[in-house]
Each structure stands twice: as structure tokens, then as C-alpha cells.
Amino acid sequence: MITVVGANILHEFDVSGPIVARTGHVVTSPELRERDISFDHSYDAIFDGPLERALDTVVDDLVERSTQGGLLYLLPGDGVPGDLTVEALSARADITLIPGTLHPGMSGLGRADVVDALEIALAENQGAFGRGLCPIDSTVPRIVTNWYGESVVSLATRRLMLVYNANEAEVRSWESDGRLFIPPVDPLEGPGSVAALEHIVARLRRPDGCPWDREQTRESLLPQFIEELGELGDAIKASDVPNQREELGDVLFHVVVQCQLAAEANDFTFEDVLREITAKLVRRHPHVFGDVQVDTYDDVLATWNRVKAEEKATLGQPENS
């Protein structure tokens, strides 16, 4: 059994058995100093170095140590939600999580608004392939926990600089006691997220918004939508990268405004569209997200068509619809 607890709340129960700390920075806890409590091991060296297998290495080590008896896994601060190592550990071992008192600045925040710096760093470490693994909405207040480790901080800083259009000094200035406290960005001052675009489109459609936008319908915007798709196609064919970026933005605007108009008619929302396409992609790629084995390009197409046919049959639709 592994007991997970924050360093600041150790006073709530007796400490016995080996203690493993996520980071040596927990020694700054007044509780540890007052009770002269030390730990047997920490993972600072892992978070200072290459991160490719950092999470697996930490979890593997904790599981192995727990086979020798009870183990206390010590987190910095209060053991706040969103700790990535704990989430991974819970899938591999029996754990007892001792909840702490949230920092006042975290009052009202949900799980999605509290993110482990390691999660950001691991996603950033994969470059273009990892950006979608840890999406960050800059329009909501956010707390980044476990701001420790040279590699973690470096990679997470790089990602946050991009999301918040900030320089390194600004990102570092948000840090306090091993956490970043990031205020929300006004969508009009720092647009750069889908949420910001949704906000702007909805604002344009409000009664006190833009007269032209308020008068549009899904049908009236269709010619422009088709035109933008054509311009995007031209930019791609011409390998015109700056224009591709601009035209993709125009196309995305039309997707969002079509969803806004549909939501106003109580037909569907942008979130409904996202749910449907993500579910479809997962269903039609069982060789990636499931246990289906494929070896060739033709195998992939056959799997896609088989799943598609099953979907259409379930819905009572013809296969070519």
C-alpha cells in the first residue's frame, strides 16, 4: 500500500515506514523541519534530466518499493489535485490519497484548471506530436503545480510562453512556492485559443454586437465558407505557408460561427461537434486506440471501411452516406 500525502499536512497523522519524496524541495515544509522528518529517496535527478521515460521510471520505482511494505509518497505543499505521478500510480498500485486543504488561490478551480508542470513538459517534449496532449485554455485562471526540476521547468516554460504570448521572465514571475498562479487572459487582449475565438464569435452575434454578423444565417455564410476553403486549397498547392496559416484561420472562423448559429437554433454546439469527431476518430482507429492489429496501409483502409459500415448499419444509413 502506498499512502500519498502533501508535506504541509503531515501533522495530521503519524509517520512510519519509508518516505519517498517526489522532490527534495519538500524539505522547505515547516512541518518537516519542526518534526525533523527526512525522506529516504527523491526523484529530482529524474526531473532534471531527459524526460522520455520519467513518468514510467517514477511509477515503476514506487511500485517496486511498495512490494517491500507500506510506503509514504510525499508530495510538495498540500498534495494538490492534478499530480501526474499520482494519476499514473493509481492505475498500477493500491494507494491511499490524503487530501489536503487547497490553497486559497485554488478555490473554485476544477481539475482541468490545475495542471502538473510535468504534464506540460512531457507534452512539449514531443513537439508537434505532443501539443494536443495537454491543451491549455488561457481564458481561465490556472495553477501549475510541481514547478521543480530543470528539464520540467525549461520545457513547461517554453510551452507557457507560447500559450500566453509571454517572455521567460514573465512566466517565471508567476511562480510562488513551487507553483505557478496564472491569471486568465482577456480573449480580446490575448486571443490564441479556440475558447477565445468562440467568445469573440458569440460576442459578434449578441444584440449589441456587429449588425452584419447578427444578420447572417448558416445559408448566407455558405458561399464565403466555400470560397475560404478554395483559398486554403490554393495556398496549400502553392506551398504558401503564411497564407495557409491565414486561410486556416478563416476556415476555423466559419466552423465556429456555423456552430454558434446552430447553438442559437438549439440544434447542436461546437462541443457536440468536437465530441462526435473525436469519438469517430477513436472508433475508426482501433489499431491505435484499441487492440486491433494492422500491418499495411491496405489493412488500415479495410479497418476504417469495416468500422464505418458497422456505424452506418447501426444508424440504418446506406454505406455511402
Query: 187 in a domain, yes or no?
Result: no
Instruction: Grade residue 95 by pLDDT with cuts at 50, 70 and 90.
Output: confident
Instruction: Grade residue 104 by pLDDT with cuts at 50, 70 and 90.
Output: very low
Q: For 131-182, how does the pLDDT look when each residue is reduced to its tens digit (9 = 90+)?
A: 677 888 888 888 898 898 999 999 999 999 988 888 999 999 999 878 899 9
32 within 8 A of 75, measured Cβ to Cβ: no
**Which of 85, 102, 119 is at the close of a domain?**
102
Q: For 52-67, how does the pLDDT look when each residue is reduced to its tens digit (9 = 90+)?
A: 889 999 999 999 988 8
Q: Is the pLDDT of residue 101 over 50?
A: no
What is the model's pLDDT at position 33? 59
What is the model's pLDDT at position 154? 93
Mean local confidence (pLDDT), 266-292: 93
97/110 same-domain check = no
110/88 same-domain check = no
How many other C-beta atoms can be found within 10 angstroms of the C-beta atom of residue 263? 17
Residue 179 phi, psi dihedral angles, 5° rounding = -135, 155
How many whole angstroms separate alpha carbon 14 and alpha carbon 192? 48
What is the model's pLDDT at position 319? 65
What is the model's pLDDT at position 99? 63
89/109 same-domain check = no
What is the model's pLDDT at position 11? 65
11/85 same-domain check = yes
How many whole angstroms separate alpha carbon 49 and alpha carbon 29? 25
Q: In the structure grid, which three cell numbers stand for residue 58, read together?
A: 517514477
What is the model's pLDDT at position 174? 92
82/20 same-domain check = yes
Cβ contacts of 216-219, under 8 Å, gap ≥ 24: 216/257, 216/261, 217/261, 218/258, 218/261, 218/262
219/253 same-domain check = yes
Query: 189 in a domain, yes or no?
Result: no
Of 12-26, 139-153, 224-238, the one with minimum mean pLDDT is 12-26
14/91 same-domain check = yes
Instruction: Give the residue, 95 or 264, on which the prediction is more confident.
Output: 264
What is the model's pLDDT at position 36? 59
How many whole angstroms separate alpha carbon 256 and alpha carbon 194? 9
8/98 same-domain check = yes
Which among 205, 227, 201 is positioned nearest to 215, based on CA atoms?
Answer: 205
**Which of 69, 102, 135 is at the close of a domain?**
102
Phi-psi region of 165 (alpha: psi -120 to 50; beta: other; left: phi over 0): left
Query: 320 in a domain, yes or no?
Result: no
The domain spanning residue 230 has which CATH number?
A: 1.10.287.1080
Q: Is the pLDDT of residue 31 over 50?
A: yes
107 within 8 A of 34, measured Cβ to Cβ: no
Q: What is the rounded average pLDDT for all residues in the chain?
A: 85
53/71 same-domain check = yes
What is the model's pLDDT at position 241? 96
Q: How many structural domains compose the chain?
A: 4
Instruction: Grade residue 314 by pLDDT with cuts at 50, 70 and 90.
Output: confident
Q: In the structure grid, which three cell numbers stand for residue 314, read together?
A: 447501426
DSSP state for residue 102 in the 8-state scheme:
P
Mean local confidence (pLDDT), 90-97: 82
Instruction: Give the residue, 7 or 15, on which the prediction is more confident.
Output: 7
Side-chain half-sphere exposure of 236, counting CA atoms within 13 A: 8
How many whole angstroms separate alpha carbon 207 and alpha carbon 180? 38
What is the model's pLDDT at position 57? 93
Instruction: Give the residue, 212 or 77, on which the prediction is more confident.
Output: 212
Query: 188 in a domain, yes or no?
Result: no
Q: In the structure grid, which three cell numbers stand for residue 13, read together?
A: 497523522
Q: Is the pLDDT of residue 90 over 80?
A: yes
Query: 164 in a domain, yes or no?
Result: yes
CB neighbour class for 180 (10 Å; exposed up to 12, middle 13-18, buried from 19): buried
How many whole angstroms separate alpha carbon 161 and alpha carbon 155? 10
**Which of 102, 128, 158 is at the close of a domain?**
102
How many other C-beta atoms can be found within 10 angstroms of the C-beta atom of residue 139? 18
Question: What is the span of the domain harbouring residue 311?
Answer: 284-315
pTM, whole model, 2 decimals?
Answer: 0.72
Whole-number Cα distances in Å, 297 to 207, 286, 301, 302: 51, 14, 7, 9
**What percentage of the chain exceeds 70 in pLDDT?**
87
How many whole angstroms separate alpha carbon 75 and alpha carbon 8? 9
Q: Is the pLDDT of residue 126 over 90?
A: no
297/230 same-domain check = no
Q: Is the pLDDT of residue 105 over 80?
A: no
